[in-house]
Chain A
Amino acid sequence: MRLLHRGNPVSFLLTALALTLALSACGGGGGGDSSGDAGSYDTSLAQAVSDAGAFSEQLDPLDADTGFYLFHLADAGIQREELADCAILCSSGGTCEQVAVLQFQWAEGKAEERQAQVMEALQSYIDGQIEANVNYRPDEIPKLENALIQQKGDSFLLIVASDLEAAKGAIQ
């Protein structure tokens, strides 16, 4: 798990808290559970969805900075340091297929507002993809229209797949 803080004391405390939780999870004998704790999506879920055959091509990973840019999270009012960890697999251009697990850490009292902002950003991203591809790659539009966007606590899951049922199977 990559944790970021940039001198903000609140952010630092949240980071320390998250690190404590992460260390306790690592030492707690819970290995092999790709779903993470009951309240969030684990980043390993991205690879699990891929392994389940949800995609028609091999997807390439994107780092957190690029993911933050790709989903226009800054435009949605999210701070880069609030994106605590993520796993993103994305087509490099052949299709619109992708899976993203985004985990956030908010300052106290900000969770509800921020969660709504992230959901709006992800939906806006999909809408933009549909607009950009409707003439260009019309075969991709059904995948985009059926995109899965889900939230669990402070984590978010986005899937654009050729086999959405396979993806859902991996989530369950």
Chain B
Amino acid sequence: MDFHSVSRRTAAFLLTGSLCLTGLAGCGHSPTSSGSGSSSGGGSSSAFSAASSDISSASSSADSSSSGAVSTMAPSAILPEPTYDFTQPAPESAPVDNEWFADAAFVGDSRTEGFYLFSGVGNGDLLSDTGLTVFKLSEKKCIQIGENSYTLLEALALKHYTKVYLCFGINELGYPGSQNFYNSYVAAIDAVRAIQPDAVIYVEGLIPLNEEVIAQTIKRDYLKNEQLREFNERIREAAADRHVVFLDLYNLFVDANGELPADASSDGVHLRADGCRKWLDYMKTHTVSYETLYPEGAESIPAPITSDSSSDGTEGGAA
């Protein structure tokens, strides 16, 4: 193992601990959090408590308020003015071929798994878990490689990637409010960036649902497009705040009624194969280089956010 990979693993460990602390704070130390999540995810708190002092020092470069507010970040005034507009979805670009994704990681839930299997991308690595939420990235040992089990973040640290696609949010729709989701998503972006500092991070907006098909099939009444749209705004906000690329998949698939077309999915959630191919075509025509995003290199990337607000991580979900 070379020094580079050791450093990357160390960063992964620290950020993993940071993510866990985000969750722990929500389980008992954050009375000013939005209060929207349950506190059932505290079962593994002792396993990570030893890392808390390391995390505190590692994140000292960020403005870590102890007020219990949702999150803080390094002052943006010290950053060069970005030339790429992070508040907008990725603009259309010249198409790339599938081999462009050879050093990409596709990180997400079962929707990402469907994309990887049915789009025909044929390149890159799939790091996904059915039902996984952004709240659980640093906890759930969901990736099996040989005899070993890894969290998704640990698995992400095993190779070097230049593109990382994040797709989370459907399984989180069962939790009221969106502030915890935002906080956890931002923490996930920072963790991924620490593990893969050379990668362009793409965050994928949520593909709409078909509520009628859901009612007829999987019958999960918490899967509503109204909340999905709110979560999409928070994902877009996170992308703008953390200077990563936002992919507007919602508008790629939504119909005139604000839904996923009924024939696009057998359960109202997961796309059929032709939808996955459409998803890939979009990704192939919405790419951005690292140099375009960060012309002055790593100095133009915001420092990691520290957060003491709640996360939540009960099991369940739809993707």
Report the separation of the CA atoms of residues A58 and B271 in the bound assembly, to the nearest whole angstrom.
12
Q: Which among A57, A63, A133 is the interface contact of B266 at CB below 8 angstroms?
A: A57
With contact pairs A90-B117, A91-B266, A92-B276 given, residues A75 and B271 touching in the complex (Cβ less than 8 Å): no
Contact B270 A63 (CB under 8 A): no
Chain A hits for B131, CB < 8 A? 132, 135-136
Contact B266 A62 (CB under 8 A): no
A65 interface residue per 8 A CB criterion: yes
With contact pairs A75-B146, A93-B113, A128-B144 given, residues A135 and B270 touching in the complex (Cβ less than 8 Å): no
Contact A63 B271 (CB under 8 A): no
Report the separation of the CA atoms of residues A128 and B114 in the bound assembly, to the nearest whole angstrom.
16
Give the A interface residue count (CB, 8 A).
Answer: 22
Contact A63 B146 (CB under 8 A): no
Report the separation of the CA atoms of residues A65 and B131 in the bound assembly, to the nearest whole angstrom.
25
Q: How many A-B residue pairs have CB under 8 A?
A: 63
A53 interface residue per 8 A CB criterion: no
Closest to A75 in B: B146
Closest to B317 in A: A136
B38 interface residue per 8 A CB criterion: no
Chain B hits for A132, CB < 8 A? 129-131
Output the least CB separation between B84 and chain A (Å): 33
Q: How big is the B interface, by class?
A: 20 to 34
Q: Which among A75, A93, A133, A137 is the interface contact of B114 at CB below 8 angstroms?
A: A93
B120 interface residue per 8 A CB criterion: yes
Closest to B142 in A: A132
Contact B122 A93 (CB under 8 A): no
Output the least CB separation between B140 and chain A (Å): 11
Encode contact with B along A35-63: 1 for CB under 8 Å, 0 otherwise: 00000000000000000000001101111
Chain B hits for A153, CB < 8 A? none
Report the separation of the CA atoms of residues A132 and B113 in the bound assembly, to the nearest whole angstrom.
13
B316 interface residue per 8 A CB criterion: yes
Chain A hits for B265, CB < 8 A? 92-94
With contact pairs A93-B267, A93-B270, A94-B265 given, residues A65 and B122 touching in the complex (Cβ less than 8 Å): yes
B311 interface residue per 8 A CB criterion: no
- 10 CB contacts below 8 A, A to B, read A75-B146, A90-B117, A92-B117, A92-B265, A92-B271, A93-B111, A93-B319, A128-B144, A132-B131, A136-B316
